[in-house]
Amino acid sequence: MKTPPGNKPFLSDSVSRNEDNALVRRALKGDRKAFEMIILKYQQPLLNYLGRMTGERELAMDFTQEVFLKVYGSLSSFQPRFKFSAWLFKVASNFMIDSWRKKKISTVSLDRTRDDGENPCSLQIPDAGPPVAKRYELAQIKKRIEGALRLVPEELRELFVLRHINEFSYEEIAEIKGLPVGTVKNRVFQAKEMLRGLLEESS
Amino acid sequence: MNCLRPADIYLYLENGLDPAAAREADEHLVLCPGCRSAFEERRALMDAVAGIPDLEVPPDLAAKVLARIPPDRSSRFGWFIAFIIGLSSFFLGGLTYVILTGQSLPGFLIDAIRSAWDVMRDASLAFIKFAKVTVLGLDLLVKFIGEIGKGLARLGALISPEVYAASLLLFLALTALLVAGLRRMFLHGEKS
């Protein structure tokens, strides 16, 4: 993954990797602060992934908590020679697959208005930026993409989200999903073309 | 150059084409309006996808997760606390016993030491028996492996060296696959 929190690069890959391994070691020794730092680092990309996979904000937040608990419980099985972010998303992916197996998740709009003050998990529309008309247009396009994305089959959507929302490389996705790189590339391509077709239909 | 395939257009957009192919695509896009239109369409899609905002993380998410994690199990003082609790329980139990039965404290301590001695003696005997059984088992295993070795040597004398080498290679390959599979299962990632 290129950019852990908030999709913004802040550390080189190897520095981030060493930092993750150090945090895991400390967490394994019972240092709760270290695990808190892991949560703070990965909560944003994990919520983005689970949000796009479930299509429901509340459920995504619950799942994010559950995945972190699962990660905490499995920390001793993490091998430092693997990349922690890839391992964490493997846990998340397995969790999603289990959930799908248990029950088919009903999809609810992610881009409901922000006026339901109780719900803190809403889209972050920047206050400043393009003029109002342009902003409205952009918001409409993003809304349509979110809507179309929910119609893409889960197995394609997941790979698309990992690639284009979480910005993992194809190789990292292949590691997370246990698939050949070629298959990952092909499925991400299928997802993109499907998304494009859905957007064309809706316009 | 032929027209660009949609998959190549996405690769081009992700800088995934090799430099020579990217140069050719550059040149082709200038000359071919159809490919240019297809390219612009996909670029617009990818630009829009890149602009999808993050979901807002609730500020108390980390606190909520940590609240659900049980208190530290691996504290460096954990063993000491357990030892103190065990010792206190022993003395408290002993004291209760002495009070309830009216037995003298020295008498109780002698009984306790005698019981502890009995337990240790029984445990030592059990350990010795276990060690004997282990040694016998190991002896059997060594003999078994020796017999397998002898069997293989006789088999080697009966079949041609090529067949023998091929069988050995096959065995090694299967073992490597088994080990790789087990490593994948147990070492890499969480298995839910």
The predicted pLDDT at position B72 comes to 64
**Does A134 lie at the interface with B, CB-CB under 8 angstroms?**
no
Average pLDDT per block of 10 residues along chain B, 192 residues long: 89 92 93 94 90 91 93 66 87 84 82 90 96 96 93 82 85 92 64 40
ipTM surpasses cut 0.85? no
pTM confidence score: 0.62
Cα–Cα distance measured from residue A37 to residue A42, given in angstroms and rounded to the nearest whole number? 9
**Does A55 lie at the interface with B, CB-CB under 8 angstroms?**
no
| Relative orientation angle of helices A57-74 and A32-54, to the nearest 10 degrees | 140
Are residues B56 and A123, on separate chains, in Cβ contact within 8 Å?
yes
Q: Backbone dihedral region of B5: left (phi > 0), alpha (psi from -120 to 50 degrees) or beta?
A: beta
Are residues B50 and A164, on separate chains, in Cβ contact within 8 Å?
yes
Are residues A120 and B56, on separate chains, in Cβ contact within 8 Å?
yes
> CA-nearest residue of chain B to A111?
B55
Residue burial A63-97, b: 16+ Cβ < 10 Å; e: rest: bbbbbbebbbebbeebeeebbbbbbbbbbbbbbbe
The predicted pLDDT at position A7 comes to 43
Domains of chain A (ranges, CATH numbers): 1-105 (1.10.1740.10), 127-203 (1.10.10.10)
Of A171, A176, A4, A167, residue with least CA distance to A90: A176
Cα–Cα distance measured from residue A76 to residue A28, given in angstroms and rounded to the nearest whole number? 7
Cα–Cα distance measured from residue B58 to residue B64, given in angstroms and rounded to the nearest whole number? 10
How many contacts, defined by CB atoms under 8 Å, are there between A and B? 126
Q: Please tell me which of the candidates A30, A36, A193 has its beta carbon nearest to residue B75.
A: A30
Q: What residue type is assigned to position B140 of the chain? A: L
Distances (CA, A) of B21 to A193, B2, B8, B18: 22, 11, 9, 5
**Does A119 lie at the interface with B, CB-CB under 8 angstroms?**
no
Q: Please tell me which of the candidates B52, B65, B186 has its beta carbon nearest to residue A145.
A: B52
Of B192, B112, B172, residue with least CA distance to A77: B192
Q: Can you list the residues of chain A whose pLDDT is less than 70? A: 1-12, 103-138
- Contact residues on chain A for B189, CB-CB shorter than 8 A: 77, 82, 87, 90-91
